[in-house]
Amino acid sequence: MSDERADERSESTNGAGGEPTRDDAPAFEAARYPDGSITYPAHPVGPDGEAPVGTVDLNEHTAEVITWTTSTATPPGVREPNHVAIVEFDVDGEPVRAIGQVTTGDVDIGDEVEPVYCDQLRDPAAGIREPASQEWDGFRFRPVE
């Protein structure tokens, strides 16, 4: 992926979203297992019961919207409204599903979307979960023009 493309596909932050930054996006990392299956997120062992043997960067792919919703009753630290979707990537014929925020509510089942990096998806200090227990950056999905 070109640097220019990477710049286009990253956003900054906070629960309400923000202006794009020029930082390079990290990998949108899924795990590949010995039987060829891929999962996001990675698990200690995959569907075949074996440990992962590699990773796949989903940021290099687009995905199809399986379903979506707009949540208007969001927990502390989460943007409101919160558009979210389940999407499916096709990685060389292997389906990989992911879930995440969508950049807009103007989306539909079957639409093509691309990952957009966001360095803080919700305010870690506002919810019940210990802020240090997990990462708070990740990828939103944006409809492909």
Interacting residue ranges for another protein, rule: CB under 8 A: 15, 39-41, 66-79, 82, 84-86, 97-101, 109, 121-122, 127-129, 133-138
Nearer to another protein, 22 or 75 (CB): 75
Q: How far is the CB of 115 from another protein (least distance, A)?
A: 13
**Length of the chain as a residue count:** 145
Q: How far is the CB of 88 from another protein (least distance, A)?
A: 9
77: left (phi over 0), alpha (psi -120 to 50) or beta: left
Task: Tell me the backbone φ, ψ of residue 97, rounded to 5 degrees.
Answer: -100, 150
Nearer to another protein, 117 or 136 (CB): 136
Task: Tell me the backbone φ, ψ of residue 15, rounded to 5 degrees.
Answer: -60, -30
Per-residue DSSP letters for 8-30?
HTEE--TTT------SPP---EE
**Under 8 Å CB-to-CB from 80, ≥6 apart: which residues?**
71, 72, 73, 74
Q: How far is the CB of 2 from another protein (least distance, A)?
A: 27
Tokens of 112: 């093509």
Nearer to another protein, 40 or 117 (CB): 40
Nearer to another protein, 21 or 37 (CB): 37
Q: How far is the CB of 134 from another protein (least distance, A)?
A: 4
